[in-house]
Structure 1
Amino acid sequence: MPSDPARSKFRGGPVPAAPAAGAGPRPSAGPSGVSTGAADLARARQQLLAAGTRLDAPALRDVLVDLFEVWLHTKGAELGIKPDSGFAIVAVGGLGRREMLPYSDLDLILLHDDANPKMLSHIADSLWYPLWDAHIKLDHSVRTVRQALDVAAGDMTAALGMLEARHIVGDSELSAQLLSGVRQGWRDSIRDRFTELVQQAEQRWERNGEIAHRSEPDLKNGRGGLRDIQLLNALAVAQLTDPAPGFRSDGNSGRLQAAHRRLLDIRTQQHRVAGRARDQLRAQDADEVAAALHIGDRFDLARTLSDCARTISFSVEVGVRTARNALPRGILGSLRKLPARRPLDEGVVEQGGEVVLARDARPQRDPALVVRAAAAAAVSGLPMSAGTLGKLADTAPELKAPWPREAVHDLLVLLGSGRQLIPVVEALDRTGLWGRILPEWGAVRDLPPRDAIHTWTVDRHLVETVAYAVALSTRVSRPDLLLLGALLHDIGKGRGGDHSVVGAELAVQIGRRMGLSAEDTETLSDVVRHHLLLPHTATRRDIENPDVVHDVVARLGGSRVLLELLHALAEADSHATGPGVWGEWKATLIAELVSRCELVMAGEDLPQQDPVPAELLPHLKPGAGGEIPVRVRLVPADGHHMYELTISGPDKPGLLAKAAGLLSLHSLRVHAASVSGVEGAVLNVFMVSPRFGSPPDPGFLRQELVRAISGSIDVIRMLDERQDLAVRVLADELAADPAASGVTVPGSTVLGTLPAAVPIQYPDAPPIVRWLPGSREDEGILEVRSADRLGLLCRVALALEGAGADITWAKVATMGAYVDDVFCVRFARGAGNEGRARADAAVRMVLPKPAPPKPPTPGVGEN
C-alpha cells in the first residue's frame, strides 16, 4: 500500500463523503492538520525508536502492539465503535500477529453490519484520516463480513492475511463471524487451493532466493523467511500439518519457534538501523544489527541467519509434503487402500512416497540404521518422513568406533547419490542426526564464507562438492576416498589456523573412527591437507619449471592415486565454489600440471591375481568320482552382518556370473570378491552382507547354483523381472492403485514372492572401461569403473563370456554406489584385437548409463 494513499477511495468499501448534518463532527485537527491523538501516537512511536532506548527487540514489538491497540481502543470509543454497535476493528498483518515492527504498516479492516452509508463514511473518514495525516502507513479496507469472506475466497493473499486476523475493538461477535468464516472457508477449499498456495511460495522463492545463502537476504520473502512461517500457519489452520512440522522429537522441540523469534529480532533491528521499513538486510547494516542484538559481527549474524532460515526451510518442506499427503481425497479417494509398504533395506521401507522405519526396526539397538535409512532415501529419491527423523533423533545412539563395515558402505552410497544427497543431509542436519554421524560438523555448520566468490555456507559447500565429485567418481581408482575427501576437505574451517592442516588432523580422527585401514586413513588425510595444492600451483607458479613439478610430486609422496584424487577434487571444489570458478584456463593448467607429474612418477603397477588362502585349498580337491563338485561355505566375518561366502567348482564358463546373479536375487550385497583359478578348479570368495534379515542357507544356495549352471534357472531373466517389477509397482502407486506388498514372478522357483521394490536412481558418473596388458600375449586385463546396479557383476561376467573371453581371475570392489572391477581374460588363439573389441563392446552394453543432468529447481524438495 502506498504511504500516501488516495483519500477518496476505500478498498472494498464505499467512497467517503462529506459528513451530512447529524452525521457527527469531522475529526478535529490542529494547526498542522494532524489529529491530536494520532500525533501523540506518532510521537510516542518515535520516542520508542529514539537512539539509546533500552528496549530489546521483543520488548519493542510488544510495546508497539500495546501502543497501537490503546490508540485504536481510544479512537474506537470516541467514534462509538463498541460492543453491539455493529462495527468492529480487526487487525491483520503485524498487529494481527502481535509482531508489530518499528516501521510496519498498520493493516486494519473496519467491519460493519450493513451500516448506514453516511454513518459508515463518517466513521471510516474519522478513523483513517488522522493516521494518514500522522504519516503512519496504513493498509485498510471497509467491508461487511460477507464481503470480506468473498474477498478471501477469491484472493489468496487476502485469505492468508485474514487467517491471522485478530479482533481489536467493537462488536466481537462481528469479528468472530469473520474469523471463524475465514478459517472454515479455508479448510473447505484447501483441496482446490493447495496447488496455488505452493506455486505462489515457489515463485516467491525464485524471485528472492534463499536467505541462508544470500549476502543481502530478504528476511520477509526469501526462502526460510517470515512469509514461510505464515505458510506453515495456513497449513496448520487447514488441519493438514502441525505448526512445527519436522521438529516433533524431544531434542528438537521449539527449534522452529526459536528460529522464528530470532528472525523477527533481526528484522526489528534492521528497521531500527535503516530508519524505515526494509525487508532486505543490507551488508552495510549487518555489523550494527549484530552488535545491537549481541550476536557478534556480521559473520556471526550471517551464521545465525543461515541456521534460522534453514530450520524454517526444512520445516516448510516437511509441512508441505505432510499436507499434500493429508489433503481431502473426496468420496472415492477415501475408499482407497492404505499405501503399500515396500522394503528398501534392513529395517527401512517405503510408504506413501516417504522412507519410514519398518515395524520391527529397533533404532536403539541398531546404530547404523540412521546411515542405512539415509542411503535408502538418497538412492530412491524419496524423502525421509518426519516421524522417522524424529524417532531416530530420540532413540538412535551414536556409532561406536570402529564403525561396522556396512555403515561405511551405506555412507558411501549416500554420498554417491549425487544431488539427491543434498536434501537428505539437510534433513539429517536440521534434526541433529548428521552431527551424530560426523561430530566435527558443528564447527562448519552454517559457517558463512569469508569472500564473495563463495556461493554457499561452508557446510553446504562441502555437500555441493560431494555432489559434483559424483560425476568424476569413475575417473579415479578410489571413488570412496574421493567422496570422503570432498566431504571433509574444508572441515578444518571455523577452528583457527590453516584449515588444510587442521582438517588433515581431523580426517585422521574421522578415518580411524570409521574403521578405515591405516593406509586409507593416511590417504584421506593427505587429500584434505593438499586439496589446494594443484590449483594453487597451476595458477600461481611456473608449471614448466621442472623444480615446481618435482616439488609437487615430492609433497604427494609419488602417489599416483593421491594425484588423481586431488585432480578430481580440484574440479569438484571449484564447481561447488561458485559460477565461473572452474573454466577452460584453470582446467587446462591443472591438467598440464597433472600430466607433467605423471611423467615424473612414471610406470604403473598392473593388478595381480590374489593367492589362494591355504585353508581354502581343500575346497578345490576333486570328489570321489574325480570331478570337482560345487561347494558353498558361509562363515561370519569381521563386522556386523558381514559374511565370507566361498563358492568353488570346476573351471567352466558361467560359474562366476551365475553365482553373482543368485547373490543379487537373494539380496546379498557384494562388497568385495576375488576369483582365482587353480588346476581346473575355480575359487570365488565373496564378502557379503544381507540387505534384509539373515543370509540364505549355504546348502540352499548350492542347490540353486547347480540348477543355474545346468540352465534350469535363467538368472538374467529373473534380474530383469526384478527390475521391471520395481518400475511397474511404482507406476501403479502413482496411478493411485496400490499394489500388493508381494508380487509373484511367473516361473520363479528361487524367490517365490518378491517384495515390490523402489527403483534405484543411478549416479551421474559415466562408466569407464580400460584395458591393460596381460602377462601373456592372449591375455588382457580389463578394468571397469561404473555406478553399481542390480546384478552388475553377473551381467559383466556373462557379457565377457558371451564375447568369447575366458575369465582366468578377477578382483571386485564395491565402494558405496560405485564398483571398480578387474578381470583378467584370455582370448582364443589368434583372436587378438578383434576379441578384445568384441569384449569391450559387450561390456559397455550392460553398464548403467548416467541420467541426463537436471538443473536444481526452486521449491519444495531441495534446500
Structure 2
Amino acid sequence: MTTVNSGSAEDLVKAKAVLLEHPGGRRRLSPEALRTALVDLHDFWLSSRCAAIGVNERASLVAVGALGRRELAPYSDLDLVLLHDGRKDVDRLAEQLWYPLWDAGIGLDHSVRTPGQAVQVAATDLRAAFGLLEIRHIAGDPALSDKVRGAVRQAWRAGIRSRFDEIDDGAHDRWTKVGDVAHRIEPDLKSGHGGLRDVQLIGALAAAQLVDRPGSEVAEARDLLLDVRTELHRLAGRARDVLRAQDADEIAAVLEIGDRFELARALSGAARAVAFAAEVGLRSARAALPRRGLAALRRAPVRRPLDSGVVEHMGEVALARDASANRDPALVLRVAATAARTGLPVAAGTLHRLAETAPELREPWPRAALGELLSLLGTGRGMVDVIEALDRTGLWGRMFPEWGAVRDLPPRDRAHVWTVDRHLVEACAQAARLTTRVSRPDLLLVGALLHDIGKGRGGDHSEVGESLAVQMGRRLGFGEADVVLLGRMVRHHLLLPHTATRRDLDDPATVGRVAETLGNDVVLLDLLDALAEADSLATGPAVWSPWKRALIRDLSARTRALMAGESLPEPGPDPELDPELARAVAEDGKPHVRLVQDHDLASVTIGVPGGPAALSASAGVLALHSLEVHAAEVRTTGTLAIARFAVSPRFGGLPDQALIRADLVRVLDGSLVLAEALARKEKDYAPTSPAVEGTVAPRILWFDDEATGAVVMELRAADRIGLLHHVAGALESCDVEVRWARVATLGASVVDSFGLAGAGTDGGVARAARRRIEQAVLAAARQPAGKVPAGRTRKDTPT
C-alpha cells in the first residue's frame, strides 16, 4: 500500500485509490472490509497530521457523520469538528488541517467549536445535533472529546420534548419528498423512507432514552443498505445515493445476491424493516416524552372502547385488558379493521402481544374472522399501513402463508411502481371505492387482494393464481360456488384490458370470445371490469388512461349486451365512408384533416392522396405536434387513404387542425423531412434517465383469428415519441396492409397491436413474410431516440 505521509493529503488520495482498485492478482475487498480500511486510512492520516501540527492539550479532532459512525463509503465527504478549550492558535490548527484536504480535492464539511458552542449549535440545528450525538474521537485531548460528547447528549435528553415535533415533522416531510426505498424503482438509499437516515433517526431517539436501541433486524438491514451504497460509490466513481436500474445487476453480482431483481427484493425487505422501526419508534418516543409541570400531575389517559376487545389508548389502538386471541379468533383482524377504520396506528406492544399469543385460525375460518377481514379490506387507503404493520410482525403471513412468495417481490416491468405484495394491497384499496358497482363486493375485495398471488412461482401467474385463490377461498370460508368464481376472477383478471387494448372491438368475434371465455356470466364480467380499473390504478401513474378506461367500458358494454341476447352496439362510421373528407382530397389532391374534441380524447381523421404511406406519415406528423396516439384505423381506396386516430395531447392543449394539415402538405411535397424532424423532437424529449432506454428489449408476438382470418401482430417495446411512425413505416415497406392499430402505453413501455392483411386473396401473412416483417419492425423499435433511421433522407419522403 502507498505510504501515507502526515504532511501529504495527496498520498492519502493515492492510498485510497489503491484500496478501490482490484487488479487480477489481488482479491477485491468486500464492502464492509473496504469501509473499515477507508476509516482506518483516514483516521491514521488525520491523527498523524494532528500530532505534527500540535493538536494535543486543550484541543481535539472528532469525526461526525459517516466517518464518525465508521460507515465511510468510498466518496463520502469527511465531517470533522476541531474542538478547543480557548486555545489562541486554533485558527492556525484549522488551516493546517483543512487546507491540505481541500488542495487534494477531498470533500470536507468542517467546523471549529468550543464545548459551549458545540452544545449551542446542537440545540439550534437538528442536523448538527444528529451528527454531534455520534462524535468519535480521532486525535488530541480525549477528555475534551468526551466532555463535548457527554454535554451534547445530556442537552439532547433534556431538550427532547421541545424538539420532538421538529424531529417528527422533518422525518415525515422527508419521506413524502423522497419516497420509499422499498418501492422505488430507483431508490435513495440514504434519505428515502427506510434508508440510512432513518437508522440514524432511531439512534437519536435511543440517545434521548425514549426507545431501545435498534434490534438485530434493523442492524442487518443497515448492513445491506451500507453494502449497496458502498458498491454504488465504487461503481460510479463518485458519491451517489440513488441506485439506478442499470447499476443493480453489477452490484448484485458483487454482493453474490443473484440479479437485480433479487437485490431489489432484499433491499425492499431491509427498507421495510427500517421504515417500520422508524415509524414505531417515533410513536413510542412521543408516548415516552417526559411530562413536566401540570402535565405531570394529570392522570393517565383513560382507555376508550372502540370495538369488542379493542380500545384506544394514547392515540393508538390497543387491546382491552381482558382481550385474548386464544378465546377470540377474530381479534387480530378486528384490531386491524378498527385501526384502518379510525386511522389510528396499532400500538407496538399490541402487535407484539398478538404475534406471541394469536393462534393460527382453524380452517375454514370462523364467520366472524371472515367478516373482520372484509371490514378491513373495505376501508380502502386506511388498510395499507395496517397490513404493513401486520406483515412486519408476522401476523399477516400467519393468516396467509401464500403471501411469502410475493413479499418484497420486485416487478418485472417498469410500469409497476410497487413490489407485488404492495401492489396487491394497493389494488384492494382501489377496489374498495368500486364496491357499489358490483353485486358481490366481498369477492371484488378478496379478488383484488389475490389477483397476482401466483407471481414468483414460475409458470403463468394467472393459472397458478387461480389454484391458489381456490385454496385460499376455501380456507376463508366461502361457499364452493363463490370459491370457483373467485378462482375465475384471478384466472381472467387480464382478459378485459388485454382484449380492449389489443384487439378490434368492432369485430363481433372479439366480443363473442370474451363472452364465451366468461361462460356468459354477467356477475363475473362486472367483477372483472371493476378489477381491471383497480389493478390499473394500483400499477402506476398514467396506466389507467382515459383511452384505456373508454375501451374497457366499451368492451364490457358490448359483452354484457351479447350475454343478454341484445344486439351489439353499432360500430362507428368507417373512415373511408367520410364523403366530405374524401371529396376534398379528391378535388385538390392535397391532404385534409378533421379534429374533433371528445371529452378526454380527440378524434383526428386524415385523408391523404397516394395512399400507401398514410399511417406512417400521419402518425409522424401527429407525433411532431405532441399528440399521443391510442388507436388508429386505415382504409385505402384507389389512390386515396383515410386514417382515423384517437389521440390525446402529451402536454398542453390540442393543436390547430390547420397546422397539422400544413405539416402534412410539407411532408408530401418534400419540404419537410419527417425522419429528420422527428429525430430532432425525439432528441429534445428523450428519456432523462438512461435506465428507461435500452432496458426493454422489443418483442413481437403473432395471433391468428380463425373466425375472421385477420392476423394480429403485437409489438412490446420501450415507448418513445414517433414510435408508431417508425413501426408503420417498417410495415409499409414490407407491402403489408395495416387495417387498424391499438396502442397501449404502460409507463415507459408500450404494447402496440396491428391488424394486418397480406397480399394474398385470403389476407393471410405467410411465415416467410412474418419473419421479414419482424426484422423490419424490430429494427425500427430498436432505433435510438434522436437518430435518423439509416437511409431516411430528403428523398425518402412518404407519398
- The two structures share one fold, judged by TM-score above 0.5: yes
Pairing of 1:120-159 with structure 2 (within 5 A): 120-159=90-129
Q: From 26, 31, 42, give the equivalent of 2:13.
A: 42
Q: What secondary structure does 2:182 align onto?
A: helix
2:535 to 556, 573, 580: 573
Whether 2:243 is the aligned partner of 1:269: answer no
1:35/1:130 contact within 8 Å kept: no
Q: How does 1:557-636 map to 2 (within 5 A)?
A: 557-602=519-564
1:151-170 alignment, distance < 5 Å: 151-170=121-140
Post-superposition offset of 1:502: 0.6
- 1:80 maps to 54
Q: TM-score, normalised by structure 2?
A: 0.68
1:89 corresponding residue in structure 2: 61
Higher relative contact order at CA 8 Å, sep ≥6: structure 1 or structure 2?
Answer: 1
Report the 3-state secondary structure (helix = DSSP H, G, I; strand = E; otherwise coil) of the residue aligned with 2:100.
helix
The one of 221, 239, 242 aligned to 2:191 = 221
In 2, the alpha carbon distance for the partners of 1:99 and 1:48 equals 16
Partner of 1:240: 210
Counterpart residue number, 1:288: 250
Aligned residue for 1:528?
490
Match of 1:782 in 2: none
- AA aligned to 1:336 is R
Deviations 1:341-372 (A, max 9, x none): 12233332221111112222233454432222
2:44 corresponds to 1:70: yes
Structure 2, unmatched stretches of 5+, are: 567-799
Q: Is the 8 A contact 1:504 1:526 kept in 2?
A: yes
Partner-residue secondary structure (3-state), 1:448: coil
Q: Aligned match of 1:201 in 156, 171, 193? A: 171
Q: Are the equivalent residues in 2 in contact too, given 1:232–1:316 (CA < 8 A)?
A: yes
User: Deviation of residue 588 (structure 1)?
Assistant: 2.0
Task: Work out the CA distance in 2 between the residues paired with 1:526 and 1:565.
Answer: 10
Where 2:172 maps in the other structure, the secondary structure is helix
**Residues 35, 134 of structure 1: 8 Å contact kept:** no
Which 5+ residue runs of structure 1 have no aligned equivalent? Answer: 1-29, 245-252, 605-863
CA deviation string 1:435-460 (max 9, x = no partner): 11111111111111111111211111
Q: For residue 37 of structure 1, report the CA deviation from its aligned partner.
A: 4.4
Q: 1:367 to 1:66 in 2, by over 3 A?
A: farther
Q: Distance in 2 between matches of 1:104 and 1:548?
A: 59
- Aligned match of 2:28: 54
Report deviation, 1:595: 1.8
Which residue of the other structure, out of 446, 463, 480, is the alignment partner of 2:442?
480
Say which SS state the counterpart of residue 44 (structure 2) adopts: helix
* Aligned 1:429-448 pairs, distance under 5 A: 429-448=391-410
Paired residue for 1:186? 156
Code of the residue aligned with 2:184 in structure 1: it is: R
Show the counterpart of 2:469: 507
Deviation of 1:35 after TM superposition, in Å, equals 6.3
> What secondary structure, in the 3-state scheme, does the structure 2 residue paired with 1:81 have?
coil
* Aligned partner letter, 1:533: L
After superposition, give the CA deviation of every residue in 1:308-357 in whole Å (9 maximum; x if it has no partner): 22211111111111122222332111112211112233332221111112
Q: Contact 2:329 / 2:366 at 8 angstroms: preserved in 1?
A: no
Amino acid at match of 1:158: A
Aligned partners of 1:34 and 1:134 also within 8 Å: no
In 2, Cα distance between the equivalents of 1:144 and 1:62? 29
Deviation at 1:76, TM superposition (A): 2.5
Q: Which residue of 2 aligns with 1:492?
A: 454
Asked if the contact 1:34–1:133 (Cα under 8 Å) also holds between the matched residues in 2, the reply is no
CA–CA separation in structure 2 for the residues paired with 1:216 and 1:557:
43
Residue from 500, 514, 517 that aligns with 1:552: 514
Matched, 1:340 2:302: yes
Residue 82 (structure 2) pairs with residue 110 (structure 1): yes
Identity of aligned residues (%): 61
1:696-707 matches, within 5 Å, as: none
Displacement after TM superposition at 1:43 (Å): 2.2
Which letter does structure 1 place at the counterpart of 2:32? P
Q: 2:147 is matched with which residue?
A: 177
Work out the CA distance in 2 between the residues paired with 1:572 and 1:491: 15
Paired AA for residue 216 in structure 2: G
Give the Å deviation of 1:125: 2.4
Q: Structure 2: how far apart are the matches of 1:133 and 1:537?
A: 64
**Deviation of 1:493 (Å):** 0.9
CA distance in 2, matches of 1:288, 1:203: 32
- Structure with bigger gyration radius: 1
Shift of 1:60: 1.5
Give CA-to-partner distance per residue, 1:648-694, whole Å, 9 cap, x none: xxxxxxxxxxxxxxxxxxxxxxxxxxxxxxxxxxxxxxxxxxxxxxx
| 1:470 corresponds to which of 404, 422, 432 | 432
Task: Show the counterpart of 1:759.
Answer: none
CA distance in 2, matches of 1:221, 1:547: 53
Output the CA distance in 1 between the equivalents of 2:6 and 2:37. 22
Distance 1:126 1:525 in 2: 73
Aligned partner of 1:733 in structure 2 is none
1:366-515 map, 5 Å:
366-515=328-477
CA–CA distance in 1 between the matches of 2:357 and 2:41?
47
Partner of 2:505: 543
Deviations 1:624-668 (A, max 9, x none): xxxxxxxxxxxxxxxxxxxxxxxxxxxxxxxxxxxxxxxxxxxxx
Q: Conserved in 1, the CA contact under 8 Å of 2:5 and 2:45?
A: no
Amino acid at match of 2:38: L
- Cα distance in 1 for partners of 2:354, 2:16 equals 48
Q: Does 1:279 align with 2:249?
A: no
Aligned partner of residue 211 in structure 1, secondary structure: coil
User: What amino acid is aligned across from residue 162 of structure 1 in structure 2?
Assistant: L
Q: Secondary structure at the match of 1:334?
A: helix
The letter for the 1-side match of 2:107 is K
How high is the TM-score relative to the length of structure 1? 0.63
CA deviation string 1:114-147 (max 9, x = no partner): 001xx32332222223323333222211121112
For the residue of structure 2 that corresponds to 1:440, the secondary structure is: helix
Give the whole-Å Cα distance in 2 for the aligned partners of 1:311 and 1:207.
20
Higher mean displacement: 518-527 or 320-329: 320-329
2:102 and 2:505 map into 1 onto residues whose CA distance is 70
Matched residue type, 1:49: L
Task: Measure how far apart 1:397 and its partner are.
Answer: 2.1
> Following TM superposition, by how much is the alpha carbon of 1:202 offset from its aligned partner in structure 2, in angstroms?
2.6
C-alpha contact 1:500 1:528 (8 A) present in aligned 2:
yes
Residue equivalent to 1:361: 323
Aligned-partner Cα distance in 1 for 2:377–2:310: 18
CA distance in 1, matches of 2:233, 2:168: 29
1:721-759 CA deviation, whole Å, 9 max, x = no partner?
A: xxxxxxxxxxxxxxxxxxxxxxxxxxxxxxxxxxxxxxx
CA positional deviation for 1:64: 1.7
In 2, Cα distance between the equivalents of 1:385 and 1:61? 37
Moved more, 590-599 or 357-366: 357-366
Contact 1:366 1:396 in 2 (8 A): no
Structure 2 counterparts to residues 676-825 of structure 1, below 5 A: none
Give the stretch that moved more between structures: 406-415 or 552-561.
Answer: 552-561
Paired residues of 2:22 and 2:28 also in contact (CA < 8 A): no
What's the CA shift for 1:377?
Answer: 1.3
Alignment map for 1:4-19 (pairs within 5 Å): none
Residues matched between the structures, number: 561
Letter in 1 for 2:141: D
For the 8 Å contact 2:194–2:272, the answer to whether it is kept is yes
Question: What is the CA distance between 1:36 and its match in structure 2?
Answer: 4.6
